[in-house]
Amino acid sequence: DPEAEFRIMGRKSLTDQRHGNLGNALLNGFPNFSRRIHMKLTPEHIEKFFMRIVKETVDYREKNNVRRNDFMDQLIDLKNKPLMKSETGESMNLTIEEISAQALVFFAAGFETSSTTMGFALYELARAEDVQNRLRKECNEVLARHNGDLTYESIKDMKYLDQVISETLRLYTVLPILNRQCLEDYVVP
């Protein structure tokens, strides 16, 4: 349903900005300073939506004892069981706000990047019939070996598919900026 609230807010989470270009440049260029002045990247209405959805999901699963063996179950476990250690060595649990933040990051990281990469891969396959035929042949052969079941194991056996996706990512970088901060010295051997 194109009018589903989750779909609309999912798109908005990738397009709506809390700040203009100058604010985003400050967030990306000076992340420590931005944190000190409590600048946030995600607009407030997106945060509130995901907070509500995650809280409702967590409440429903806990109340009805629902386990789906998924990412949300892992986050609920981190909320209910002291599985993590803080910098001081103390046990700690995730708060509902931290669960919501992790769910939003997980959603955003996989939403647009996956569909964009798939779109570029399909475009390149449409341009290269020989590659398309070789990939189709590999998929059919691998699925035949796995009784027609598309599983994690069968996909791992599709080596040419992995090469096609890797080449697509080389040609069309989906995440041109990926901020990471080094927390300790590392000597390149």
Q: What does the pLDDT look like over 79-125, one tens digit per residue?
A: 888 765 666 777 778 889 989 988 888 887 777 788 889 999 999 99
DSSP conformation class of 164: H
Q: With bands split at pLDDT 50, 70 and 90, how would you rate the model's confidence at 139?
A: very high
Average pLDDT rounded to a whole number, residues 29-51: 87
Q: The whole model's pTM is what?
A: 0.59
Query: Residue 76 class from Cβ within 10 Å (0-12 exposed, 13-18 middle, 19+ buried)?
Result: buried
pLDDT exceeds cutoff 70 at 35: yes
Matching residue, tokens 């629902």 = 66
Identify the CA nearest to 80 among candidates 91, 94, 66.
94
